[in-house]
């Protein structure tokens, strides 16, 4: 499979970054007239570099001048490998240090140090510069990075630099090609006849011709009209590639650098992020709570204030948990790296990692908040999953956990399996979706349901069980109906509860009549046997049952009685016999009047009319004028 990486240049102004890129690729990345006149890069420049072994690199040439560091930050966010440039004739300079700080804060994977303009110095001076460079990177993640002296004038070291770039590029971890597309926009322009074009590094996912995309934070929808990857027309763009996207449905003035092109509905813009913030040792002052800063994420710069959650100020060289309250929305994801700079004077002072996106405003100095954020930041995948479940406070879909933790799907599935085996989580399958619930929470649900059922059985011993949907709406409203059913099915399988239609019960529950209740039912049945087709009224039935409504419902549930109308109950035996007699007449005569039914059953119109209407509702008969005709010759139980 082809590999795609982004190589970025970094270093002080006029140290030869653009000339080095031109020597490696043959492309001049200074595209603005002002850049060519002044001999410095102001905006981001781009050039493709094809390496042996199927690796295609997009080189991002970033500005070095301190006035344009924010432009440098716009390009640095998507870099996999940095080509860090130090001029041999000047050595380490102020922006050299600031660029190195930024790369360190962004956790750029790999670095190669190129000492340029070696043709302008002697060997002794070059050795001194090399020592300064080693001191610069000694305390950084790039301390073991190769240092290559080069000259674009004489060609010295260029071949070795290409070899080192190829070797290091193979060690770069690819950006995730699965999942939703996210492309922070670093340039916006228009081409006559084509319309709006945006460019950027595709952080994740992929884009295709014809895709509908969304521009955040505005939420404007657009369609991909054409794609260019490293300057070539393509039908698909993959994570890790430099991409130019020609959009239809959006005007050029509706998009700006810092906006993000995403899969619709996948990312939303927020004004609050929670993270871990590291203040550089070189920061001139401690950072105080609620201090105003410039926040850089991807290609976005936003002003905001820092809320320190566990202290009142951060000392240089220290880290703290923070919430950044931003003055404009940004698109962020868990584990994104960010940089902060002083509001004024504008200087890079720190950066860190995002832990949560768009969550509630936490109260400061809360131990449980601090502990939870620490687990999300540094914990194992299992710890992060459990902490997210605590934050959610209920079931979480597998995809939701992947988004919230930024753990890969394979890794999170393994971690969930381990947690399930350890009895820490329960997994429920709803269709093709998995839902994960903390085991202690599922046990709390079960205890609540069983207690409710036990209380209900004591209070209503003649009812078959607690209404199923009422249980969900009262105690488990966080569960969707399908997930609720999956949880219930699991409890039934484990023998914790039983389900009878739409009622829940404890597995050992059964309706038990008292001797007095059994006697009342026997007396009622005996009386109704003597007047099968002229049964007693509802008030008399209730009186014979001791005005016990639950006992009446029991008789209905057990099929002893059948409710024919609102105030008329038949003994089931009487109803069945009435149907056999009426059906015989209908089969022989073809139709039936109320008067005929009255004579056949030897009863009055008062009982006969509601009885015939009941058989109509049961689809046994059909009324035609003043008569009934047989709809079915089935002898199926008329009370069913």
- What's the pLDDT tens digit per position in 457-486? 999 999 889 999 999 999 999 999 999 999
**Can you tell me the distance from the alpha carbon of 614 to that of 283, in angstroms, rounded to the nearest whole number?**
87
Q: DSSP string spanning 271-306?
A: EEEEEEEEE-TT-SSPEETTEEEEEEETTEEEEEEE
pLDDT above 70 coverage of the chain, percent: 93
For the cut 50, the answer to whether the pLDDT of residue 634 exceeds it is: no
Task: Return the pLDDT at 506.
Answer: 97
Q: H/E element holding 186?
A: strand 182-191
Cα distance between the two ends of the chain: 65
Q: Decide whether 182-262 matches 269-369 in CATH topology.
A: yes
For the cut 50, the answer to whether the pLDDT of residue 37 exceeds it is: no
* Nearest in space to 262 (alpha carbons), one of 223, 224, 225, 215: 215
pLDDT band at 446 (very low <50, low <70, confident <90, very high): very high
CB atoms within 10 A of CB 3: 16
pLDDT band at 176 (very low <50, low <70, confident <90, very high): confident
Task: Return the pLDDT at 1.
Answer: 54
pLDDT band at 71 (very low <50, low <70, confident <90, very high): low
Task: Return the pLDDT at 639.
Answer: 54
Long-range contacts of 361-370 (CB under 8 A, 24+ apart): 361/272, 361/307, 361/323, 361/325, 362/274, 362/309, 362/323, 364/289, 364/307, 364/308, 364/309, 364/310, 365/309, 365/310, 366/309, 369/309, 370/309, 370/310, 370/321
Helices (H), 138-234: 158-169
pLDDT band at 64 (very low <50, low <70, confident <90, very high): very low
Pairing of strands 466-467, 503-505: antiparallel
Domain at 182-262: CATH code: 2.40.30.10
Backbone angles phi, psi at 217, to 5 degrees: -90, 0
Task: Return the pLDDT at 430.
Answer: 95
For residue range 102-115, list pLDDT tens digits in order.
899 999 999 999 99
For the cut 80, the answer to whether the pLDDT of residue 130 exceeds it is: yes
Mean local confidence (pLDDT), 410-437:
96
Structural domain boundaries in the chain:
3-169, 182-262, 269-369, 515-630
Task: Return the pLDDT at 614.
Answer: 96
For the cut 70, the answer to whether the pLDDT of residue 42 exceeds it is: no
Q: How far is CA 122 from CA 85, 133, 167, 175, in A?
A: 18, 17, 29, 42
pLDDT band at 95 (very low <50, low <70, confident <90, very high): confident
pLDDT band at 32 (very low <50, low <70, confident <90, very high): very low
Give Dmax over CA atoms of the chain in angstroms.
Answer: 128
What's the whole-number average pLDDT of the chain?
A: 90
Mean local confidence (pLDDT), 304-313:
97
For the cut 90, the answer to whether the pLDDT of residue 421 exceeds it is: yes
Based on the number of CB atoms within 10 Å of its own CB, is 57 exposed (0-12), middle (13-18) or buried (19 or more)?
buried
DSSP-derived letter for residue 179 is S
Q: H/E element holding 419?
A: helix 409-421
Task: Return the pLDDT at 564.
Answer: 95
For the cut 50, the answer to whether the pLDDT of residue 68 exceeds it is: no
Helix, strand, coil percent values for the chain (each to nearest 5): 35, 30, 35
For residue range 195-219, list pLDDT tens digits in order.
899 998 899 999 999 999 999 999 9
pLDDT above 90 coverage of the chain, percent: 75
For residue range 336-365, list pLDDT tens digits in order.
999 999 998 889 999 999 999 998 999 999
Q: Any idea which residue has 């131990």 for tokens?
A: 367
Task: Return the pLDDT at 557.
Answer: 84
Structure tokens at 469: 């949907």
Based on the number of CB atoms within 10 Å of its own CB, is 512 exposed (0-12), middle (13-18) or buried (19 or more)?
exposed
**Can you tell me the distance from the alpha carbon of 358 to that of 271, in angstroms, rounded to the nearest whole number?**
7
**Can you tell me the distance from the alpha carbon of 42 to that of 63, in angstroms, rounded to the nearest whole number?**
5
For the cut 70, the answer to whether the pLDDT of residue 40 exceeds it is: no
| DSSP 3-state of 232 | strand
Q: H/E element holding 110?
A: strand 110-116
Q: How far is CA 326 from CA 216, 306, 354, in A?
A: 16, 9, 14
For residue range 539-594, list pLDDT tens digits in order.
999 999 989 888 998 999 888 999 999 999 999 999 999 999 999 999 999 999 99
Task: Return the pLDDT at 142.
Answer: 96
pLDDT band at 89 (very low <50, low <70, confident <90, very high): very high
Mean local confidence (pLDDT), 168-173:
92
**Can you tell me the distance from the alpha carbon of 8 to that of 59, in angstroms, rounded to the nearest whole number?**
5
Task: Return the pLDDT at 38.
Answer: 34
In sequence order, what are the beta bridge partners of 27?
none
In sequence order, what are the beta bridge partners of 9?
83
Q: DSSP string spanning 511-523?
A: ----HHHHHHHHH
Task: Return the pLDDT at 514.
Answer: 87
Q: Tell me the Ramachandran region of residue 422: left when phi exceeds 0, alpha when psi lies from -120 to 50, beta otherwise.
A: alpha
Task: Return the pLDDT at 70.
Answer: 60
pLDDT band at 73 (very low <50, low <70, confident <90, very high): low
Q: H/E element holding 456?
A: helix 439-459
Q: H/E element holding 189?
A: strand 182-191
Task: Return the pLDDT at 86.
Answer: 96
Task: Return the pLDDT at 65.
Answer: 38
For the cut 70, the answer to whether the pLDDT of residue 374 exceeds it is: yes
DSSP-derived letter for residue 587 is H
Task: Return the pLDDT at 637.
Answer: 53
Answer for the pair 353, 335: CB distance below 8 angstroms, yes or no.
Answer: yes
Task: Return the pLDDT at 483.
Answer: 97
How remote is the C-alpha of 610 from its chain's centroid? 57
CATH architecture of 515-630: Orthogonal Bundle (1.10)
pLDDT band at 35 (very low <50, low <70, confident <90, very high): very low
Domain at 269-369: CATH code: 2.40.30.10
Backbone angles phi, psi at 110, to 5 degrees: -135, 155
CB atoms within 10 A of CB 76: 28
For the cut 80, the answer to whether the pLDDT of residue 638 exceeds it is: no
**Can you tell me the distance from the alpha carbon of 507 to that of 493, in angstroms, rounded to the nearest whole number?**
11
CATH architecture of 3-169: 3-Layer(aba) Sandwich (3.40)
For the cut 80, the answer to whether the pLDDT of residue 61 exceeds it is: no
Give the number of residues written for the chain: 640
């Amino acid at each position: 499979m082809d590999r795609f990486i982004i190589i970025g240049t970094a270093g002080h102004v006029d140290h030869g970054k653009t000339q080095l890129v031109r020597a490696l690729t043959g492309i001049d990345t200074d595209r603005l007239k002002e850049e060519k006149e002044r001999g410095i890069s102001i905006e981001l420049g781009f050039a493709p570099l094809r390496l042996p072994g199927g690796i295609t690199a997009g080189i991002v040439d970033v500005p070095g001048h301190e006035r344009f560091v924010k432009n440098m930050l716009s390009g640095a966010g998507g870099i996999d490998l940095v080509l860090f440039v130090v001029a041999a004739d000047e050595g380490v300079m102020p922006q050299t240090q600031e660029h190195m700080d930024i790369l360190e804060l962004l956790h750029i994977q790999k670095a190669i140090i190129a000492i340029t303009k070696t043709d302008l110095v002697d060997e002794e001076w070059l050795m001194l510069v090399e020592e300064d460079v080693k001191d610069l990177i000694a305390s950084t993640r790039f301390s073991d990075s190769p240092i290559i002296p080069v000259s674009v004038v004489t060609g010295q070291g260029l071949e070795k630099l290409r070899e080192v770039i190829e070797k290091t590029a193979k060690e770069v971890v690819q950006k995730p090609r699965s999942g939703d597309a996210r492309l922070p926009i670093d340039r916006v322009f228009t081409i006559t006849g084509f319309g709006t074009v945006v460019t950027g590094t595709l952080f994740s996912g992929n884009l295709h011709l014809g895709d509908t995309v969304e521009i955040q934070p505005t939420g404007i929808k657009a369609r991909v009209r054409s794609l260019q990857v490293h300057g070539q027309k393509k039908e698909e763009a993959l994570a890790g590639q430099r991409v130019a996207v020609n959009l239809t449905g959006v005007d050029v003035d509706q998009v700006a650098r810092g906006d993000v092109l995403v899969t619709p509905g996948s990312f939303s813009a927020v004004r609050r992020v929670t993270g871990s913030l590291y203040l550089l040792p070189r920061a001139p002052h401690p950072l105080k709570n609620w201090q105003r800063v410039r926040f850089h994420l991807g290609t976005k710069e936003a002003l905001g204030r820092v809320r320190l959650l566990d202290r009142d100020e951060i000392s240089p060289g220290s880290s703290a948990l923070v919430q950044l309250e931003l003055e404009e929305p940004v698109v962020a994801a868990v584990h994104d790296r960010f940089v902060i700079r002083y509001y004024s004077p504008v200087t890079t002072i720190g950066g860190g990692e995002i832990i949560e996106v768009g969550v509630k405003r936490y109260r400061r100095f809360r131990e449980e908040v601090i502990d939870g954020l620490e687990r999300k930041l540094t914990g194992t995948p299992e710890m992060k999953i459990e902490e997210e479940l605590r934050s959610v406070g209920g079931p979480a879909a597998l995809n939701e956990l992947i988004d919230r933790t930024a753990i890969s799907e394979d890794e999170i599935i393994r971690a969930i399996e381990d947690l399930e085996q350890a009895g820490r989580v329960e997994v429920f399958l709803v269709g093709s979706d998995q839902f994960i619930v903390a085991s202690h929470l599922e046990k709390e649900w079960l205890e609540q349901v069983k207690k409710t059922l036990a209380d209900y059985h004591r209070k209503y011993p003649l009812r078959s069980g607690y209404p199923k949907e009422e249980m969900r709406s009262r105690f488990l409203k966080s569960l969707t109906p399908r997930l609720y059913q999956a949880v219930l099915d699991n409890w039934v399988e484990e023998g914790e509860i039983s389900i009878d239609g739409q009622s829940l019960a404890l597995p050992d529950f059964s309706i038990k009549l008292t001797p007095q209740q059994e006697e009342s039912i026997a007396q009622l049945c005996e009386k109704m046997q003597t007047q099968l087709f002229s049964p007693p009224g509802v008030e008399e039935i209730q009186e014979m049952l001791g005005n016990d409504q639950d006992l009446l419902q029991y008789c209905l549930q057990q099929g002893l009685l059948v409710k024919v109308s609102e105030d008329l109950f038949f003994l089931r035996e009487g109803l069945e016999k009435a149907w056999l007699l009426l059906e015989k007449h209908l089969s022989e005569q073809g139709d039936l009047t109320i008067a005929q039914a009255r004579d056949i059953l030897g009863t009055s119109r008062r009982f006969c009319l509601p009885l015939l209407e009941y058989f109509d509702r049961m689809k046994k008969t059909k009324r035609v004028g003043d008569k009934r005709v047989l709809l079915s010759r089935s002898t199926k139980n008329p009370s069913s």
